[in-house]
Structure formats: C-alpha cells, structure tokens
Structure 1
Amino acid sequence: MTTDFVAGNYRFIPAVFQYSAGAAANPGFEIERVRFDKPVALAEGFARIAKYIQAAGRPLTSFCACELRSPAAFTDEGFRNFNLHYVKTLAEWEIYDGTTNPVARSNVCPEIDPPAEPSFHAFSFTRPSGNMAPSFVIAGSGESLEGGATYAERTVRYRDLSPEGMKEKIRHVVATMEKRMGEFGFGWKDATAAQTYTIHDFHPVFAEELVRRGAARSGVTWHFARPPVIDLEYEMDCRRVLRELVI
C-alpha cells in the first residue's frame, strides 16, 4: 500500500517514524538525486539541501529521500535517539507530521575512514518533468523483520556469519527490495542502480542471490560499510533515477 504525499508530488510506502520504505515521483514529476562530493555533517547538510532545492524552484516538501553516513553502528536506544533528532528538521519543513514520515532513507557506517558525526552522502527530491519514465528510491533495509521487537529479536540468523547464515540474510534483504519495489508496481527490470552495504564477502552467493534475480541489471555498487544497528550485517537499497549529479 502506498500513500500520496501531495505537498511533495510523490507517493511513499508507510513504514516507521524515522523513514518511509520508499518514494516514487507522481506523474509529471521525476526524482533527482544529488550526491555530495564529501560527506556533509547533518546540520550543514540540511542547510545545503534546503538551499539547493529552493534554488531549483522547488518547495522543501519535495525532499523525498536521503543517504546518510554515521561514525559507527548504534544500539537500539542510540538509533532511536538519533532518529528523534533527525526528524526535527523534517517537521520544520512540514514533511514529518509527528507520526508519518514520507522520506525514504539509508543510513550506514563506513568501516574505514568514517565521518566524525552523522553526515549526508546524498539526497533526492522531486521536480517537474516532461519525461514520462517513472522514478523511485527504495529505502535501505538490513536483515531484520518488520515489527516492534528489538533488532536482536527480529534479525534473520542473528549473529550467524556462517556461509549459510549470510546467504539467508542476503536472500531476505533482496526479497525486501523486491517487495518494496512491487508496492509501486516495479521490479529489478526497472531499477537503474542497486547499492549494497556490508564488510563481509558476499561473492559466494552473488550470482545466485543477486544476479539471477535481476538485482545486478545495472551492476551493484558495494560500499564497505555496516548497517546502522549493531549486529546487522547486510543492507541494500535501490532506485530508478534518470537525473543524478555530484556537488
């Protein structure tokens, strides 16, 4: 089920208060992705994003997705506290209403040379377009089941780094991406990019669990990074975006 965020000209998949499971531009609009050349700390990043979006003649409500980088994986409580801080700006931008958050997000932790504080890596927003091709951004997801339990209780093959454990984790994450794209009526055949985040070698299952399922249609970008919560080991996100640039 998707919900229309009229003020942003996009649909989204409702999820949790800190992010949605994905966003897709409405007809007559497309998503533009902008990556920072270097990570930008959260407060400065929000300011630069606001300036960029407004310079493009768009309202701040057109902000529909972002990719974050954090210094290290959080505990459950630490992750919640970070998210409570993060959504304050979205509330000021009249995007987050205190309950529902339409903005898709990934937040991962580089294993080598991480930022000193949570920072923006990239962001996406909607803009008018005569291009009829659809565009979407699917939020990052690790190998955790949906629900209100702690991450330890709902993590697939919790703390199991065996080949079979990793295979099951990866299979779950790829299926989550497929399910989320399916909510918008899309699949891997539509995606223009897929990103994976792990410090573990997933090559033994790459062909079977990603390539054969179509996840590598446009290749897969591997970021040597951990998911944002301790003991999660594998995360992915994906997108169909035709306009991308670096600033």
Structure 2
Amino acid sequence: MQALPERGYGYAPGVFQYSCGVVALPGFRLERARFRVPVPLAEGFARIKAHLEGLGLPLTAFCACELRSPAPFSEAGFAAFNKIYAGTLQEWGVFLGETNPVARSNVCPEVAPPGEPGFFAFTYARPDAAAGASFVVAGNGEAREGGATYEESIVARGDTSPAGLSLKCAHVMGEMERRMGVLGVNYAQATAVNLYTVFDPHPILAGEVLGRGAPALGIEWHYCRPPIVGLDWEMDCRGIPVELVI
C-alpha cells in the first residue's frame, strides 16, 4: 500500500485507468456520495468538484468512483474512454506522474442503460480524528493480470454454466481478497459487497460467495455487465461509515 498522507488515504497500485483500491489513513475517513440518477461524465466531474469545494476539500481528496456505461466496450473503445476519463484527473493534479491512485468500477446496466458513460457515485477522504478503518476495493472482472489482451486473459471465456461461473467467481474473489490484504482490511470491516452480472448467481451464491465472504452482510447484486466485451462477472466491496445521496 502506498500512503499519501497529504491526501488522507493510501492506495494499492493498479493500472493506468485505476488503482486496485484505497484506504483511509489515521485521522481521516472515506465518505461516499451517490447521485440520485447517473450523470454524464463532464457534468459529473463538475458536480464532484463543486461538492468537494463546498466541503473545503482539495480536488486531490477524490479517491474512488463508480461509473455506468451504455454497453461493454471493445478493448480499443475502453482505452479511448480511459484517456478521456484520466485527462480530468490529470488536470486536477490527482495523478502521480503516470500513476493513477483513484479506485474505480465501471459497469453497464442491462436494463435502462444510460445514453453515455457517467458517474453513479464517488468517494473522497476527509479529516476525522475518531474514524475507524474505511476503504474501497476497485471493481475486478474475471481477466487474469498480465495478458496482452483481455480476450486471451478471460477465465472460462464464454462459459456461463454454474461450473463456468464458479471458476470466474473464484478468480474474482481471490483478486478482491488480495487487494483487501494489500490495503490491510477484511470482510468484517466491509459495509457492502457488490456483484455485477446478468447471469444467475444462485447456484453458487451460498457456498462460493457468502460462504467465503461476509454472510451476515449479504451481497448486493446489480444486473449489469462488466465494461469489456467477453467479461461476465465483476465484484467490488467497500467499508464506508458515511454515505450520501445528492
């Protein structure tokens, strides 16, 4: 975990478009704000900026976000979108050279999708001397790290049978737990565990999801697809004590 004391959070290194997760440092808490309905990217950035400035926080307090897109991207389309998204963060001074410390999920609602990519929610760090641990683990689909393309890296590509979903789930949960380990947190500190898929998770839900994670907390199932064509199963989690709807 890389600490950013001047921002109030630390991050688990990831890829160009996002970090693997963020955690509040001592003396700070993470706070999440959700838009009542998703807003387009440019409008969302403007509203996030106004919200942070209204709280007296610097733009570099912005540390995680949740996006909604109309449909899964091709790999080239995803790369192009990420350059647009990252451009504003670079203007805000959020990037550390070529490193993006901001965690992210980006999923595609199957029903009533937005007309263009935009923000669903965002998270930021703010001072709180009495705060306990708070964190966000970035969204993660069933593609193995290190492949030249997403297509060649997808676990059980095209197999949405219970057996295929089991393989996908095991990979995704393993990576989610690895990220929590880097951040120094665990399921017991989570306030939400999210699943994004359009395929029926019930055959594996009890044993392979709840039995492995936080059964008392349960799981939030969002009827969405991951952001890349070919991916079928994505998860993330967070532990945040204060959440707003704006």
TM-score by length of structure 2 reads: 0.97
Q: How does 1:1-247 map to 2 (within 5 A)?
A: 2-247=1-246
Between the aligned partners of 2:176 and 2:130, the Cα distance in structure 1 is 25
Between the aligned partners of 1:35 and 1:130, the Cα distance in structure 2 is 24
Between the aligned partners of 1:162 and 1:93, the Cα distance in structure 2 is 44
- 1:100 deviates by 0.2
CA contact (8 A) 1:34 1:244 kept: yes
3-state SS in 1 of match to 2:39: strand
Map Cα deviations across residues 43-90 of structure 1 (whole Å, 9 max, x no partner).
Answer: 000000000011111100000000000000001111011001100000
- 1:131 deviates by 2.1
Q: What is the one-letter code of the residue matched to 2:94?
A: I
Between the aligned partners of 2:220 and 2:187, the Cα distance in structure 1 is 15
Percent pairwise identity? 52
CA contact (8 A) 1:7 1:61 kept: no
Between the aligned partners of 1:8 and 1:176, the Cα distance in structure 2 is 26
Cα–Cα, structure 1 residues 52 and 78, in superposed 2: closer, same or farther, change >3 Å? same
CA contact (8 A) 1:38 1:121 kept: yes
Between the aligned partners of 2:137 and 2:214, the Cα distance in structure 1 is 13
CA contact (8 A) 2:26 2:129 kept: no
CA contact (8 A) 1:196 1:223 kept: yes
CA contact (8 A) 1:174 1:209 kept: no
Between the aligned partners of 2:141 and 2:59, the Cα distance in structure 1 is 28
Q: Report the count of equivalent residues.
A: 246
CA contact (8 A) 1:24 1:137 kept: yes
Q: What is the one-letter code of the residue matched to 2:186?
A: G
CA contact (8 A) 2:5 2:25 kept: no
Between the aligned partners of 1:24 and 1:148, the Cα distance in structure 2 is 27
3-state SS in 2 of match to 1:189: helix
TM-score by length of structure 1 reads: 0.97
CA contact (8 A) 1:189 1:217 kept: no
Q: What is the one-letter code of the residue matched to 1:111?
A: E
Map Cα deviations across residues 91-148 of structure 1 (whole Å, 9 max, x no partner).
Answer: 0110114410000000000001000000100000000002231100000000011124
Between 1:130-139 and 1:39-48, the stretch displaced more is: 130-139
Between the aligned partners of 2:84 and 2:39, the Cα distance in structure 1 is 16
Map Cα deviations across residues 123-180 of structure 1 (whole Å, 9 max, x no partner).
Answer: 0000000223110000000001112410111111111112211111011111111111
Task: Please list every run of at least 4 consecutive aligned residues from structure 1 whose deviation after the TM superposition is greater than 4 angstroms.
Answer: none
